[in-house]
């Protein structure tokens, strides 16, 4: 048996990565984000140079959300778009020594404190980094399962039911003109809200905690859905990991 055949045999005899391991990887990635998000919603810094931000791992396979979100879209969205936000944020921060050591949330919460020469770059690319760092771990095929426990009760109280909440999020995402996000947020008095932001603006800049973010930039859906944003939004509801959203709700004090 030649080397190639041995390698092939080994490959064939290697069972697929068990779900538990994949789940463990996903949970680890999630936990990293969660721990960092904690009470201050901080996005973890990378292990690179001091002051440098880095791209967090996706935490699951590109095709994990098929057929709702296609693998190619996930790959480009994570590896290219999110990576570009990180690279451009690092460039901007490097040009403003006063920003060294600050978390991306600290930057976004107080954009007035960011030197004007890099403020727009930090707003757009820092927002892009923070928003996408929230986006990846909250996605998992949910088979129609919605929230449970305290979050479910809070959604019922605020919106009059889960279906009503879904409708509001869909409306906010559909009506957002051009690029932007729709959100479920929690404010400082523990009030839930559905809102939207243009571009990569984040509710953090308005003092609110983002619990769930729906990316409606065309790069999030165009390959599969082209101009059919409503179909993508419909599909998005099928890939919300409500356990993650509930954990954020708890961490935010809800
Ligand atoms: Mn995006």
CA of 51 to the centre of ligand 1 (A): 23
Q: CATH homologous superfamily for 149-251?
A: Iron/manganese superoxide dismutase, C-terminal domain (3.55.40.20)
Per-residue model confidence as pLDDT tens digits over 41-63: 444 444 344 458 999 999 999 99
- Return the H-helix or E-strand segment holding 117: helix 116-121
CA of 9 to the centre of ligand 1 (A): 40
Question: pTM (2 decimals)?
Answer: 0.82
Identify the pLDDT of residue 40.
Answer: 37
- CA 33 to CA 36: how far, in whole Å? 5
CA of 201 to the centre of ligand 1 (A): 12
Per-residue model confidence as pLDDT tens digits over 176-203: 999 999 999 999 999 999 999 999 999 9
Per-residue model confidence as pLDDT tens digits over 129-183: 999 999 999 999 999 999 999 999 999 999 999 999 999 999 999 999 999 999 9
CA of 115 to the centre of ligand 1 (A): 26
Domain residue spans in the chain? 149-251
């Amino acid at each position: 048996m030649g080397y190639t055949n041995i390698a092939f045999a080994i490959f064939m005899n290697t069972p697929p990565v068990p779900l538990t391991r994949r789940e463990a990887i996903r949970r680890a990635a999630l936990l990293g984000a969660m721990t960092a998000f904690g009470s201050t919603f901080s996005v973890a810094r990378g292990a690179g140079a001091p002051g440098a931000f880095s791209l967090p791992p996706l935490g699951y396979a590109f095709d994990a959300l098929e057929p709702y979100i296609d693998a190619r879209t996930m790959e480009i969205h994570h590896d290219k778009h999110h990576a570009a936000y990180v690279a451009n944020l690092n460039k901007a921060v490097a040009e403003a020594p006063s920003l060294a050591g600050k978390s991306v949330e600290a930057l976004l919460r107080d954009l007035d404190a960011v030197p004007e020469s890099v403020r727009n770059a930090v707003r757009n690319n820092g927002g892009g980094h923070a928003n996408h760092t929230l986006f990846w771990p909250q996605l998992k095929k949910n088979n129609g399962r919605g929230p449970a426990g305290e979050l479910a009760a809070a959604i019922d109280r605020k919106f009059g039911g889960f279906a009503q909440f879904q409708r509001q999020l869909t409306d906010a995402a559909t009506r957002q003109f051009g690029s932007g996000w729709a959100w479920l947020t929690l404010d400082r008095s523990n009030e839930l809200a559905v809102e939207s932001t243009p571009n990569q603006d984040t509710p953090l800049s308005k003092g609110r905690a983002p619990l769930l973010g729906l990316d409606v930039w065309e790069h999030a859906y165009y390959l599969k859905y082209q101009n059919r944003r409503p179909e993508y939004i419909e599909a998005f509801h099928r890939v919300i990991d409500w356990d993650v959203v509930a954990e954020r709700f708890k961490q935010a004090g809800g």
